[in-house]
Amino acid sequence: MESQIHSKVQEYYGGIAKSITQGQQESCCGCGSTGNQSCCDEISSSAVIYKGENLNDLPKEAVDASLGCANPLVFAQLKEGETVLDLGSGGGINVFMAAKQVGQAGKVYGLDMTDEMLTLARSNQEKMGVKNVEFIKGFIEDIPLADASVDVIISNCVINLSDDKPKVLSEAYRVLKEGGRIAIADVVNLKPVSADIKSKTDLWCGCIAGTLELQEYRNMLSEAGFQGIEITPAHVYTKEVLGQIFGNSPEYNASGVDMDEVDGAFAGAYIKAEK
Ligand SMILES: C[S@@+](CC[C@H](N)C(=O)[O-])C[C@H]1O[C@@H](n2cnc3c(N)ncnc32)[C@H](O)[C@@H]1O
């Protein structure tokens, strides 16, 4: 199952997790930015993504490790007692928020393939003393859970990184109970962009190369068996926003990307569907 993409992604996110564990980095930029720029821009800081949520009872390292592109919990509508799975749980921010909502009668699994992220997430769990959470190692393309065992799947800025999205979605469908739902935040493509521009843009904003257009995403969800599909762009990356995020990055400045072409081409979106 381990692919070249997996190794690259593990190396990248493993490095981020390590520096947070060592207290060196606040990684508030979603989407694999290259770390040279000052983060915490208007769109990607956890304060903006999780506006209105109480993050004060989460460990600093869980909030610092926030790498998402939108908040899946605003539309997941979790209920007490539900079993939730977070695909690509990173430092655990979405898992801990979900755990509060489902309560002691519920359970939240965080699935991640990167050892350093799992170590960070488990250390955060220990600091919080939460018992209704379990971090498990594995690939989102091969989910290590039984069929029909989960009520809700959440995820934040992860599926765009996979080189086998149909497999991720069919695995998500398999582990969901009948009537279960997904509430996913992911980066999507809002207008056609050439493969060349995508791969150049990916050099400074690592979640771009694998983004899907809205209709492609809908088709893939539908082919996996999902119904009631809704995709709503939440945070649009205009060229001004991209400039704010990446303006200090050498990769951004050397990429030669025509910013008019990428202006408004990508967004962090809310994706909902049911089994
Ligand atoms: C952009 S970070 C998002 C982390 C977290 N969801 C958040 O909101 O902060 C992506 C995470 O997904 C994990 N990941 C990426 N591809 C994966 C895959 N194919 N299988 C399992 N985990 C994966 C990475 O290790 C990393 O922790």
Residue 89 Cα, ligand 1 centroid: separation in angstroms? Answer: 6
Separation between Cα atoms, residue 223 and residue 228, nearest integer Å:
13
* 27 in contact with ligand 1, CB cutoff 6 A: no
Residue 29 Cα, ligand 1 centroid: separation in angstroms? Answer: 14
Residue 43 Cα, ligand 1 centroid: separation in angstroms? Answer: 19
Confidence of residue 45 (pLDDT cuts 50, 70, 90): low
Residue 161 Cα, ligand 1 centroid: separation in angstroms? Answer: 8
- pLDDT tens-digit map of 197-228: 888 887 777 777 889 999 999 999 999 999 99
Highest mean pLDDT among 19-28, 38-47, 59-68: 59-68
Residue 181 Cα, ligand 1 centroid: separation in angstroms? Answer: 20
* 117 in contact with ligand 1, CB cutoff 6 A: yes
Task: State residue 119 phi and psi, 5-degree precision.
Answer: -60, -45
* 202 in contact with ligand 1, CB cutoff 6 A: no
pTM, full prediction: 0.92
| Contact of 159 with 187, CB cutoff 8 Å | no
* 68 in contact with ligand 1, CB cutoff 6 A: yes
| High-pLDDT (> 70) share of the chain, % | 92
Separation between Cα atoms, residue 205 and residue 251, nearest integer Å:
9
| Contact of 176 with 153, CB cutoff 8 Å | yes
Mutation choice for ligand 1 from 112, 116, 124, 270, CB with most ligand atoms inside 8 A = 112
| Contact of 5 with 161, CB cutoff 8 Å | yes
Half-sphere exposure of 79 (CA within 13 A, CB side): 4
Look at residue 46 in the predicted model and tell me its pLDDT. Answer: 73
pLDDT at 32 over 60: no
Higher pLDDT, 40 or 108: 108
Q: Which fold would CATH assign to domain 4-274?
A: Rossmann fold (3.40.50)
Tell me the longest C-alpha to C-alpha distance in the chain. Answer: 53
Separation between Cα atoms, residue 187 and residue 195, nearest integer Å:
16
Separation between Cα atoms, residue 216 and residue 225, nearest integer Å:
14
Closest CA to 25 of 65, 67, 68: 65
